Amino acid sequence: MNEQITERFDANNYLFNQDSKLGIYLIHGFSSTTYEVKKIAQHLANQGYYVKADNLPGHGTSIEDCNSTAYTEWLTFVEQNIAELYTHCDKVIVIGVSMGAVLALHLGTLFPLDGIISASALFKFKKEFDVRVLTRLFHRFKGSIKKQSTFHPDQLKVSRVSFYGYKYYPLSAVNEMRKLVDQVKNKLPTISSPVLLMHSKIDKTSLFKNYILIKNLLTTDKLSTLILDKTSHNTFDTETDEKNIIFSAIDNFVKVNFNV
């Protein structure tokens, strides 16, 4: 296998049940791929929904490709996808994890979505100084860093952290993500769609303070939450006994907001 990518890597895009008028758009996280959302995509497709999951620009290809992608390309990509989805479907729910959750919330600031599920959204970085100062200054020189290097070795053993997509964080892309989260964060109060906000207390990538920040900024009166205790950052690919809780919460949210 390519030394730059993990075993949890999927270059494929997915589209199920194109005749359904109830659409679900899934968005994976930063430096990851559709592998991260494939299980929940298949689960929802089995219920007959129109389900779409694509690799974001610069993802599912190479670190170099990711580093040459601007955050505006991610925004344009998901905006075009959701606009196209509404041409096929009467109702649409967007589900995202990590940066995908940031993009899902962004779409909620532009479109009257029928629902948003935000899991492990990241607006505040674990190492704010590194991202906002050092990466901003030196990303073009450094290129990338191993994902493992951002965790203490003991933390890796105890938490059993799994890495998805690329084995490295593309630093120019990290700098673009910084720009993305700053733009979206300021618009969170404008979201009026129903939102299900999910976050784990033991998430070591998107610390729990992100949940508090988002919850405080959202003003929609249709907010529900799910706090997890055992799941890692990759919410929809969990191997813990919380999987049924997560999938059931998603099923209930979708059914209520699709009125089915």
Which CATH number does the domain housing residue 118 bear?
Answer: 3.40.50.1820
Q: Are 52 and 81 in contact (CB under 8 A)?
A: yes
158, 43, 180, 206: CA torsion to nearest 10: -20
pLDDT at 157: 56
pLDDT at 149: 84
Reported as a pLDDT band with limits 50, 70 and 90, residue 155 is: low
Is the dihedral angle over the CA atoms 76, 81, 82, 87 positive or is it negative?
positive
Task: Report the mean per-residue pLDDT for the chain.
Answer: 95
Asked whether residue 48 is domain-assigned, the answer is: yes
Model pTM score: 0.96
Q: Which domain holds residue 243?
A: 14-258
Asked whether residue 95 is domain-assigned, the answer is: yes
Q: Are 97 and 235 in contact (CB under 8 A)?
A: yes
Mean pLDDT of 14-19: 98
Q: Quote the number of domains for the chain.
A: 1
- Alpha carbon distance 16, 44 (integer Å): 9
pLDDT (tens digit per residue) in 40-91: 999 999 999 999 999 999 999 999 999 999 999 999 999 999 999 999 999 9
Q: Is the pLDDT of residue 10 over 70?
A: yes
Asked whether residue 78 is domain-assigned, the answer is: yes
Spatial CA neighbour of 100 closest among 119, 128, 81, 73: 119
- Alpha carbon distance 179, 47 (integer Å): 37
142's enclosing H/E stretch is: helix 136-142
Asked whether residue 89 is domain-assigned, the answer is: yes
Angle 39-238-52 from CA coordinates, rounded to 5° = 25
Q: Which residues of 20-34 are buried (b: 16+ CB within 10 A; e: fewer)?
A: bebbbbbbbbbbbbb
pLDDT (tens digit per residue) in 118-151: 999 999 999 999 999 999 989 988 899 999 888 7
Asked whether residue 7 is domain-assigned, the answer is: no
pLDDT at 2: 78
Asked whether residue 5 is domain-assigned, the answer is: no
Mean pLDDT of 184-205: 97
Asked whether residue 3 is domain-assigned, the answer is: no
| % pLDDT > 90, the chain | 90
Q: Is the pLDDT of residue 38 over 90?
A: yes
HSE, CB side, 13 Å, CA atoms: give it for residue 176.
21
Reported as a pLDDT band with limits 50, 70 and 90, residue 154 is: low
